[in-house]
Structure 1
Amino acid sequence: MIFTPPQNTDLLLSEAQKEKLYMELVRQLNKDFTLANEVLDMPADIAPIELKLGLQDRIYRLIQVKFAEYLNLLYIIDVPEKEIKALNGADIAELAEQVTFLILKREWQKVWFRNRY
C-alpha cells in the first residue's frame, strides 16, 4: 500500500478520523511541538475544526513573534524544506494556513506509517 497524502487539511483530518487514527495524529502533534519546546497541549478528543484553527493560530503567532522557534519546529517535525520554500509568504495568514497543512501532512505520514508497518 502506498501512502498518498490528502490534498487539503479538511480531507486529511477526515481521513485520520475514518482510519481511526485521529487521536494518534493529535498525540503526534503534541509530542513534536513539545520536542520543539512549544507546548501545544491539544486534548486528544479535540474537534477537527478546532485543531485546524488552533494550529493555524499557533503557526501564525510563531511566524510573527518567534521565527527561530518556528523554524526549529519545522525541523523537528521534518517538514520538507522545498515545500516550505515553494510557499508564497506575502500574506502571513495564508502562509500559516499552508504551513499548518504541511505540518499535518507530515505528522499524518508518520502516524500512517507507524500504524501500517
Structure 2
Amino acid sequence: MNYQIPTNVDNLISQAEEEHLYFKLIEQVNKDFHLANESVDIPLSILPFEFKNRVQDKILHLIQHKFGEYLNLLYIIDVSEAEVKKLDGSDLIKLSEQVAFLVLKREWQKVWFRKYY
C-alpha cells in the first residue's frame, strides 16, 4: 500500500475510512491530546465533519486562551514547526482550520505507518 499525503481534511478522513483506520485515527487524536493534558474525548461514533470541527474548536480555544498548551500539543503530536510557521495567523478561525489539518495529517501518518510497517 502506498502512502498518499492527504491534501485536505476531507481527503484525509476519506483515506482513513477507506483503509478502515478511522477509529484508530480518533483513538490516536484522543491519546495525544490527553498526553498534552488537553483532552478532547472524541467518541468513536462521531461523524467525520463533527470530528474535524471538534479538533478545530479545541485548537482555536488553545490558540486564544492557552497558547503555551497549544505549543505543547503541537510538540507532543510532532507537527512540523516549519509548516506551522508558513501559515498566516491573521485570521484565527482560518489558522485553527489549517492547524487542525496539520494535526490530523500527522496523526494519520502515525496510524497509517503503525498499520503498514
Q: TM-score, normalised by structure 1?
A: 0.97
Give every structure 1 segment of 4 or more consecutive aligned residues whose post-TM-superposition deviation is greater than 6 Å. none
Give the total of aligned pairs. 117
Q: Partners of 2:16 and 2:78 in 1: how far apart?
A: 19
Q: Partners of 2:86 and 2:93 in 1: how far apart?
A: 16
Alignment RMSD, CA only? 0.8
Q: Partners of 1:45 and 1:103 in 2: how far apart?
A: 20
- One-letter identity of the residue aligned with 1:103: V
Please name the residue that 2:100 is paired with.
Answer: 100
Report the 3-state secondary structure (helix = DSSP H, G, I; strand = E; otherwise coil) of the residue aligned with 2:44. coil
- One-letter identity of the residue aligned with 1:100: A
Aligned-residue offset at 1:95: 0.1
| Structure 2 unmatched ranges of 5 or more | none
Q: Does 1:83 align with 2:110?
A: no
Please name the residue that 1:4 is paired with.
Answer: 4
Q: Partners of 1:115 and 1:41 in 2: how far apart?
A: 23
Instruction: Give CA-to-partner distance per residue, 1:20-78, whole Å, 9 cap, x none.
Output: 00000000000000000001100112110000011111100100000000000000000
Aligned-residue offset at 1:3: 2.4
